Structures are given as C-alpha cells and as structure tokens.
Amino acid sequence: MKLQNIAMLLLLATTLVGCAAPATMNFKHSPAAATKVKNSVVINKPFEQAWNDMVKRMTVSQYRINNIEKASRIINLEYQIENPADVEKYIDCGINHRLINYDGKPRSFDYSVANSKKYEVVSHKKYYYWYEVSPRSTLSGTVNVYMSPVNERQTEISVNARYKVRRTFSGEYYTQRNSGKYLRNGTFNWDPVSFTLTTKEPGIYPSSANPAIRCYSKGTIEAQFLNYAKN
C-alpha cells in the first residue's frame, strides 16, 4: 500500500509538471508610413556667415564634431541617444499587436517597435512558456552637414543622418500548470538585434524578418540641423 501511494504521488507530480494549459498568441504588425524627410534648405545668409554660425552652434549642441573640412564644405558629427524612451522620437518602425490567451484570459499588447515598452510572448516548446519581455532600445549614429553657396547672399544646407539601432531583450519566463498557477522558471537574455537606416533609406528589423519590418527616419535630427542653419 505504501509503494502504491508513492507511485500515485509520482504520477501526479509528473502530470502537473508535464502538462500545460492551452495557450495561444496572435501577432499582427502595422507598418510605418514611408515618408520623405525634408533634409535641405536654402537660407538667406552668405556662405561664410552661414558656415561660421553653424560651427558655433554645433559646439554647444548634443552632437560631437568628428571632422570639419571647410574646403569640402562638410561637417561630420556623431551622437548617442542615452534615454531608451527617446528612441521613437527619431525613428518609426510601426506598431506590433500581440494577443496572448491563457485559459480564456486574453491580454493584448500594442506597442511601437522602436520603444522599450514591456510585452508578453508565448513559446510552444516542451511546455507552454510565457515570457514577460523587457526590451531596451538604444540609438547612435553620425550626421553629415553639407553647405554650399547658392549666390553671394544665399547658402544651401543639406543634412544626411545615419541611425544605428540596437535592441536588447531580457525578462522572466513562467510555465502555467493545470492548477492555473504561473510558476516562475527563471530569467532570460535573448540575443540583441542591431540594424541601421539613413535619412533616405529604411532599415529592416530584424534582417531575417518575413514579412520585413521597415524602420524610417522621422526627420527629427534633420529638422534640428535645418533649424540651426536658420538661426
């Protein structure tokens, strides 16, 4: 009798551990709009004045000057966006929609792909795992400012930016058992994903995505420099 009790307990434990409640996840992506960024302007300043004003403005901006070549009329700068929450001010990767369903308890997540908002994922492996994902986006890159005289009183300024995006993913994962309880299994760190885009060309996130998720410049950096030129 004692051995039978032990066998029953082992069978029950195996059932609780080996079975997971039904779980589903529906995913949809709303793509970003492909908009043309305004990246050039003609201002009413002679070249010499426009050049000196731009260089002076750059020395007190958030951008770091890498190289200045007046003979080539180019200023090259670099930047780093420190706050992950600010990344979506500069790029648009569209919106992801996820609907997670555990035991008839749906939870929906609608979030900008570029931001660092938490979401959940269901993975169908040996058990049904529920991942609470905390993404983190960082942004860095370079800016090329080209200035050329139109005539004695006017100067044209063109701005082209390069954006390097890096997204990391960490969080906790759980398994749901027949009892309806979520059991915390541990923490995870998925491989980071990096991609680049420019003022004129979108980036693909991730590069293996099918269908592709395209990310575009919002023109924020470009507009900053055009405003610097006017002031």
**pLDDT-derived band of residue 129, with 50, 70 and 90 as boundaries?**
confident
Which pLDDT belongs to residue 45?
Answer: 94
The yes-or-no verdict on residue 8 having pLDDT over 50 is no
| Average pLDDT of the segment spanning 78-107 | 88
> Tens of pLDDT along 18-33?
444 457 788 899 999 9
Are 178 and 21 spatial neighbours (Cβ–Cβ below 8 Å)?
A: yes
Residue 47 predicted with pLDDT over 90:
yes
Average pLDDT over residues 24-43: 90
pLDDT band for position 103 (50/70/90)? low
By residue range, what is the domain housing residue 15? 2-230
pLDDT for position 22: 59
- Say whether pLDDT at 63 is over 70: yes
pLDDT in the model for residue 6: 29
String of DSSP letters for the chain: -HHHHHHHHHHHHHHHHH----EEEEEEEEPPP-PPPP-EEEESS-HHHHHHHHHHHHTTSSSEEEEEETTTTEEEEEEEE--GGGGGGTEE--EEEEEEEETTEEEEEEEETTS---EEEEEESSSEEEEEEEEEEEEEEEEEEEEEESSSS-EEEEEEEEEEEEEEEEEEEEEE-TTSPEEEEEEEEEEEEEEEEESSS-EEESTT-SS-EEEEE-SHHHHHHHHHHH-
Given a cut of 90, whether residue 136 has pLDDT beyond it is: yes
Tell me what pLDDT residue 4 has.
40
- Please give the backbone phi and psi of residue 68, each rounded to the nearest 5 degrees, phi first: -125, 125
Distance separating alpha carbons of residues 160 and 3, to the nearest angstrom: 76
Please, what is the average pLDDT of the chain? 84
Chain-centroid distance of CA 99 in Å reads 20
For the chain, how many structural domains are there in total?
1
* Cβ within 8 Å of residue 119, ≥6 positions away: 96, 98, 109, 111, 133, 135
